[in-house]
Structure 1
Amino acid sequence: MPSLDEIKIEAPVPSGLRSNNEEVTFEFAPEILRNYKNTRRTTKIFEAYTLIVGVQLDINLIDEIDDLVSLKNTKYIFRGIKRPRNGGDDGSGIYAYVTHPKESYRYEPSMTCVAKKVEIPDDLCFVTYVEFFQHSETEIKGLIVNWTWVETSHDEKPIDHKNRYEEEVEFDV
Structure 2
Amino acid sequence: MTQIKHRQPVVVIRLYGAQFVLRQTGFGSQLENNLNRYLGFNLSVSIFNRFSTRNRVRLAQLQQTQYSLQMDNVKKTLYKEIQQAWYSALAAESKYKSSSAAVAANEETFHLTGEKFENGKATSIEYNEAKFNLMRAQSDRIQAKYEYIFRTKVLDFYKGIPIQ
Between Structure 1 and Structure 2, whose CA radius of gyration is higher?
Answer: 2
Q: TM-score, normalised by structure 2?
A: 0.18
In the superposition, the TM-score normalised over structure 1's length comes to 0.18
Instruction: Identify, as 1 or 2, the structure richer in helix.
Output: 2
Say which structure, 1 or 2, has more relative contact order (CA 8 Å, 6+ apart). Answer: 1
